[in-house]
A = this chain, B = another copy of it.
Amino acid sequence: MADGGYPERLRALVDAYLEQLRFSREGATAGLEEAMRYSLLAGGKRVRPVLALATAEALGTEPESVLPLAAAIELIHTYSLIHDDLPAMDDDALRRGRPTCHVAFGEDVAILAGDGLYAEAFAHLLTRSTQPPELVLAAAVELADATGVGGMVGGQYVDVSGGAPAGADGLRRLHELKTGRLIGASVLGVLMLSGIRTGDDQEPLRQYAAELGVLFQIVDDILDVTGTDEALGKPQGSDERHGKRTYVSEFGLDGARRLAQEAHEACATLLDRAADRWGQPPLGALSSITDYVYTRSS
């Protein structure tokens, strides 16, 4: 049950929507837009925005209705990749098989392309969402929180500063912040836009999102060891060269694979619980995404 089950029709929606986004309204900033779109349109499975659309389906909502949020999340994900790749950070020259943004456009432009993507993500979410203002506001809060000090940026800081607490809990916390919160926001943001803000109704999908983030990271760490340069679109083994603590360095390859299996099963269980609340068939896309995250080769 590999790639075949991935909800390509949702990815096609996302890709078409991202493709038509424009950011520059004058010639003097066209070069900045070019750098932003270079990184934004570099391909990829679009796991986060597809997850947002799949969550909308699971709630019985038209996936199109959350495209502005889904796009905002992909813009933010792209910004985080651009800044993570910078020479002062991970200093990576390849991403998805192409030169990274700072290699292609220079370091100054890459910093600004990241900054610009973040600003445009909020502008887009706030102006293009058609839900009532209080729901859009709640989704924007989730996105800001998930990307701030208690989320993505904080996680990246913990990563570069080597400040993660020791042991499995510390590693899990690092990744909850660095990648988990934004993956979580792809689900939670949609719950917010749908007006589902009370704990009980949120709970199974909230826990699912957290567990999916863990699964995503474990598989990432495994692929960094077992993947090929070509499939990954970047040099294999970069975690080890950067001296990063990973699920593989902490638990060994077999241990990491066991943890991935456990996380995959936990996701399935939580989706079953969500199905009790939201009904079965629409959850299919979430299930396919979970399987893809588990079995992907890049």
Chain A residues in contact with chain B, CB under 8 A? 23-29, 31-33, 36, 83, 86, 88-89, 106-109, 111-112, 114-116, 118-120, 122-123, 126-127, 133-134, 136-137, 140-141, 144-145, 147-154, 156-158, 160-161, 163-165, 170, 173-174, 177
Of the candidates B114, B133, B148, the one whose C-beta lies within 8 Å of that of A119 is: B148
The chain B residue with its CB closest to the CB of A152 is B119
Q: A23-B149, A133-B137 are in contact. Are A157 and B118 (CB under 8 A)?
A: no
Q: Which residues of B contact A106 (CB under 8 A)?
A: 88
- Whole-angstrom distance between the Cβ of A110 and the nearest chain B Cβ: 8
How far does the alpha carbon of A265 sit from the alpha carbon of B106 in the complex, in Å? 41
How would you classify the secondary structure of chain A's contact residues: helix, strand, loop or mixed? helix
Q: Which residues of B contact A118 (CB under 8 A)?
A: 115, 118-119
- B123 with A161: CB separation less than 8 A: no
The chain B residue with its CB closest to the CB of A86 is B111
How far does the alpha carbon of A296 sit from the alpha carbon of B28 in the complex, in Å? 31
- A154 with B123: CB separation less than 8 A: no
The quantity of this chain's copies bound in the complex is 2
- A109 with B149: CB separation less than 8 A: no
How far does the alpha carbon of A106 sit from the alpha carbon of B25 in the complex, in Å? 35
- B115 with A164: CB separation less than 8 A: no
**Residue among A83, A133, A148 with max Cβ neighbours from chain B (10 Å):** A148
10 tightest A-B CB contacts, nearest first: A119-B148, A88-B107, A123-B144, A133-B134, A122-B144, A32-B157, A29-B154, A23-B149, A133-B133, A116-B153
Between A and B, 19 residue pairs with Cβ closer than 8 Å are A28-B164, A29-B157, A29-B158, A29-B163, A31-B161, A32-B154, A32-B161, A89-B108, A112-B153, A112-B157, A114-B115, A116-B153, A119-B147, A119-B153, A120-B144, A120-B148, A123-B148, A136-B137, A140-B140
How far does the alpha carbon of A150 sit from the alpha carbon of B36 in the complex, in Å? 14
- B126 with A28: CB separation less than 8 A: no
The chain B residue with its CB closest to the CB of A149 is B23
How far does the alpha carbon of A108 sit from the alpha carbon of B89 in the complex, in Å? 5
- B28 with A173: CB separation less than 8 A: yes
- Whole-angstrom distance between the Cβ of A209 and the nearest chain B Cβ: 19
- A83 with B137: CB separation less than 8 A: no
How far does the alpha carbon of A173 sit from the alpha carbon of B165 in the complex, in Å? 48
